[in-house]
Amino acid sequence: MLHREIPRLGKEYSILGFGCMRLPTKDGLIDEPKAEALMREAFEGGINYFDAAWPYHGGKCEEFVGRAMKPWRDKVTLVTKLPVWLLEKPEDMENFLHKQLEFLRTDHFDIYLLHSMNAERWDKMQRMNALDFLERARKAGKIRGIGFSFHDGLNSFKTIADAYPWDMCQIQYNLLDDNFQAGTEGLRYAASKGLSVVVMEPLKGGNISLPVPEELKSEAKAAGYTAPNLADLGLRWVWDHPEVSVVLSGMTTPEQLRQNLASAKRGMPGNLSDAERTFAAQVRSFFVERMRVPCTSCAYCKPCPQGVDIPQCFTNLNNAAISGNWEAQKANYNYILAPDREGKKASHCVECGECEPKCPQRIPIREKLKEVVAAFES
């Protein structure tokens, strides 16, 4: 496993990190035997950076991760995040931190982030004196590294980055989102300040892990790209940037893990050939022209009061638009969201709007669900 440094923490980390947002599930809950085996295989494969958060898997992620990694906790970097949108008063910060330490069965977090920051939430954190709280927690030995994860525009990113000598930040970055949110300019701005960057959504919620489309197979051949899907290209495109320290991947299956570990062996800056960079640009154009919704399946929009499985609805819509096989995706949609299943179809939406403020991508969810209904339920 290759490593890169986060200089302000004085440590090197595996270039591939394990994101705990997409663990294997069964009947809507974490499939604990499979998830524990997957995390163990990741650890044994050289991954030493594990990223959790309060809301992942319906609030059950941290408790599970604490149990699963207990035998090897002291050998890895454990990262979690303060759910700033749930804070109502300054004392809540301490209460959440203590509860998270309890859930994750540890006496400290190696890195602790302000979660999913934007301009509004940054104003809230300033009013609550969050930086003072983080400094106190660090002096008490409860956290070591201090950072923030981010979902907003470039100007907000610069404002937050300038406000404090953060140890690291976490941004969404991939070959489709190079000019989205912080983007390439934000990545370079962080590097200019000595601010290390951890990348999330390197495959845009799995969208860049689809098989090479038929329309691009000749371009793939010309680039010498032989991988069965686009995940290898997507990951190596991010690692090609020297400003990136760690790339998080939310892996669900052993096959995904093993493919990503294989890709990581080549994850150096400059790993892409000129032909592969050209192919990456062709992939970007292909996807941008076809994708209907910029959804990453993060599931922050859930639970829907009506039970609508919003990420699944958008996955089917995007897959149909990208592949052109609308009938197959309609059949898949009606199978996965059948009446006897937990998730409900888009037509169950009553347009309450509760989901939209939670979406890091600022998707007009209610309007896009109408497109799903038109595509698959008409």
Cis before 303 (ω within 30): yes
Q: Tell me how far apart the alpha carbons of residues 100 and 66 are, in angstroms, rounded to a whole number.
A: 9
For residues 201 and 173, the answer to whether their CB atoms sit within 8 Å is yes
Predicted local confidence at residue 329, as pLDDT? 87
**355: Cα within 13 Å, side-chain hemisphere:** 27
Residue 15's Cβ-count burial label (10 Å; 0-12, 13-18, 19+) is buried
Q: What share of the chain is helix, strand, coil (3-state, %, to 5)?
A: 50, 15, 35
Q: Which residues contact 217 (CB under 8 A, 6 or more apart)?
A: none
Predicted local confidence at residue 203, as pLDDT? 93
- The closest of 325, 373, 349 to 214, measured between CA atoms, is 325
Q: Tell me how far apart the alpha carbons of residues 311 and 299 are, in angstroms, rounded to a whole number.
A: 6
Stated pTM of the model: 0.88
Q: Tell me how far apart the alpha carbons of residues 251 and 166 are, in angstroms, rounded to a whole number.
A: 27
Residue 14: strand pairing partners: 3
Tokens 């602790």 label which residue?
A: 112
Residue 13's Cβ-count burial label (10 Å; 0-12, 13-18, 19+) is buried
What is the residue-level pLDDT of the chain in tens, covering all 378 positions? Answer: 999 999 999 999 999 999 999 999 998 899 999 999 999 999 999 999 999 999 999 999 999 999 999 999 999 999 999 999 999 999 999 999 999 999 999 999 999 999 999 999 999 999 999 999 999 999 999 999 999 999 988 999 999 999 999 999 999 999 988 988 999 999 999 999 999 999 999 998 888 998 998 999 999 999 999 998 999 999 999 999 999 999 999 999 999 999 999 999 999 999 999 999 999 999 999 988 888 999 988 889 999 999 999 989 998 998 888 878 899 889 889 888 888 777 899 999 999 999 999 999 899 999 999 999 999 998
Domains detected in the chain: 3-290 (3.20.20.100), 310-376 (no CATH)
Predicted local confidence at residue 342, as pLDDT? 73
**115-133 tens-digit pLDDT:** 999 999 999 999 999 999 9
Predicted local confidence at residue 230, as pLDDT? 96
- The closest of 152, 201, 193, 155 to 174, measured between CA atoms, is 201
Q: Is 44 helix (H, G, I), strand (E, B) or coil?
A: helix
Q: Tell me how far apart the alpha carbons of residues 172 and 362 are, in angstroms, rounded to a whole number.
A: 14
E-assigned strand segments in the chain? 3-6, 11-14, 16-19, 25-26, 29-30, 49-51, 77-82, 109-117, 143-150, 168-172, 196-200, 244-249
